[in-house]
Structure 1
Amino acid sequence: MSGLPKVELHLHLEGAAPPAFIRRLAAEKHLDISGIFDARGNYRYRDFRDFLKVYEAATSALQTPEDYRRLTLAVLEESAASGVVYSETFLSPDFCGGRDLAAWREYLHAIREAAEEAERKQGIILRGIVTCIRHFGPEKARETALCAAETADHWLVGFGIAGDERMGAPKDFRWAFDCAREAGLRLTAHAGEWGGPDSVRDAVRDLAVERIGHGVRAIEDLALVDELAETGIVLEVCPGSNVALGLYPSFRAHPIAELDRRGVKVTVSTDDPPFFHTTMAREYEELHRAFDWDEGQFRRIARQSLDAAFCDADTRTRVAQKLEA
Structure 2
Amino acid sequence: MRELPKVELHLHLEGAAPPAFVRGLSKEKHVDISGIFDARGNYRYKDFWDFLKVYEAATSVLQSPEDYRRLTLAVLEETAAHGVVYAETFLSPDFCGGRDLGAWREYLLAIQEASDEAERKMGITLRGIVTCIRHFGPEKARETAICAAETAGDWITGFGIAGDEKAGAPKDFRWAFDCAREAGLRLTAHAGEWAGPEGIRDTLAALAPERLGHGVRAIEDLALVDELAERGIVLEVCPGSNVALGVYKDFRAHPVHELDRRGVKVTISTDDPPFFHTTMTREYEELHRAFDWDEGQFRRIAKVSLEAAFCDTDTKTKIAKLLEA
Q: TM-score, normalised by structure 2?
A: 1.00
Q: Which amino acid aligns with 1:120?
A: R
Instruction: Give 1:149's aligned residue.
Output: 149
The alignment status of 1:197 with 2:197, answered yes or no, reads yes
Deviation at residue 212 of structure 1 after TM alignment: 0.1
Instruction: Give 2:319's aligned residue.
Output: 319
Instruction: Give 1:279's aligned residue.
Output: 279
Instruction: Give 2:94's aligned residue.
Output: 94
Distance, in Å, in 2 between the alignment partners of 1:37 and 1:323 is 37
Deviation at residue 41 of structure 1 after TM alignment: 0.2
Distance, in Å, in 1 between the alignment partners of 2:228 and 2:53 is 32
Instruction: Give 2:67's aligned residue.
Output: 67
SS of the residue corresponding to residue 274 of structure 2 reads: helix
Task: Describe the superposition over 1:128-177 as per-residue Cα deviations: whole angstroms up to 9, x where unpaired.
Answer: 00000000000000000000000000110000000000110110000000
The alignment status of 1:260 with 2:260, answered yes or no, reads yes
The alignment status of 1:170 with 2:170, answered yes or no, reads yes
Instruction: Give 1:18's aligned residue.
Output: 18
Instruction: Give 1:217's aligned residue.
Output: 217
The alignment status of 1:30 with 2:20, answered yes or no, reads no
The alignment status of 1:42 with 2:42, answered yes or no, reads yes
Instruction: Give 1:58's aligned residue.
Output: 58
Deviation at residue 205 of structure 1 after TM alignment: 1.1
Deviation at residue 185 of structure 1 after TM alignment: 0.1
SS of the residue corresponding to residue 95 of structure 2 reads: coil
Distance, in Å, in 1 between the alignment partners of 2:157 and 2:170 is 21
Distance, in Å, in 1 between the alignment partners of 2:86 and 2:203 is 26
SS of the residue corresponding to residue 61 of structure 1 reads: coil
Distance, in Å, in 2 between the alignment partners of 1:314 and 1:179 is 26
Instruction: Give 1:118's aligned residue.
Output: 118
Q: Which amino acid aligns with 1:94?
A: D
Task: Describe the superposition over 1:161-204 as per-residue Cα deviations: whole angstroms up to 9, x where unpaired.
Answer: 00000110110000000000000000000000000011111111
SS of the residue corresponding to residue 194 of structure 1 reads: coil
The unaligned stretches of length 5 or more in structure 2 are none
SS of the residue corresponding to residue 180 of structure 1 reads: helix
Deviation at residue 93 of structure 1 after TM alignment: 0.2
Distance, in Å, in 1 between the alignment partners of 2:58 and 2:132 is 18
Instruction: Give 2:230's aligned residue.
Output: 230
SS of the residue corresponding to residue 74 of structure 1 reads: helix
Instruction: Give 1:135's aligned residue.
Output: 135
SS of the residue corresponding to residue 4 of structure 1 reads: coil
Task: Describe the superposition over 1:80-117 as per-residue Cα deviations: whole angstroms up to 9, x where unpaired.
Answer: 00000000000000000000000000000000000000
Q: TM-score, normalised by structure 1?
A: 1.00
Q: Which amino acid aligns with 2:83?
A: G
Q: Which amino acid aligns with 1:23?
A: R
SS of the residue corresponding to residue 96 of structure 2 reads: coil
Distance, in Å, in 1 between the alignment partners of 2:28 and 2:275 is 22
Distance, in Å, in 1 between the alignment partners of 2:69 and 2:302 is 27
Distance, in Å, in 2 between the alignment partners of 1:90 and 1:186 is 13
The alignment status of 1:240 with 2:247, answered yes or no, reads no
Q: Which amino acid aligns with 1:209?
A: P
SS of the residue corresponding to residue 87 of structure 1 reads: strand
SS of the residue corresponding to residue 89 of structure 1 reads: strand
Q: Which amino acid aligns with 2:316?
A: R
Task: Describe the superposition over 1:248-292 as per-residue Cα deviations: whole angstroms up to 9, x where unpaired.
Answer: 000010000000000000000000000000000000000000000
Aligned residues: percent identity?
83
Instruction: Give 1:306's aligned residue.
Output: 306
Q: Which amino acid aligns with 1:257?
A: H
Instruction: Give 1:76's aligned residue.
Output: 76
Aligned CA RMSD, in angstroms, stands at 0.4
Q: Which amino acid aligns with 2:62?
A: L
Moved runs in structure 1, 4+ residues, more than 3 A?
none
Q: Which amino acid aligns with 2:106?
A: E
Task: Describe the superposition over 1:54-73 as per-residue Cα deviations: whole angstroms up to 9, x where unpaired.
Answer: 00000001000000000000
Instruction: Give 2:206's aligned residue.
Output: 206
Q: Which amino acid aligns with 2:129?
A: I
**What are the residue-to-residue correspondences of 1:177-188 with 2, within 5 Å?**
177-188=177-188
Q: Which amino acid aligns with 2:246?
A: G
Deviation at residue 307 of structure 1 after TM alignment: 0.3
Distance, in Å, in 2 between the alignment partners of 1:201 and 1:256 is 19
Distance, in Å, in 1 between the alignment partners of 2:2 and 2:104 is 36
Distance, in Å, in 2 between the alignment partners of 1:54 and 1:302 is 31
SS of the residue corresponding to residue 30 of structure 1 reads: coil
Q: Which amino acid aligns with 1:137?
A: G
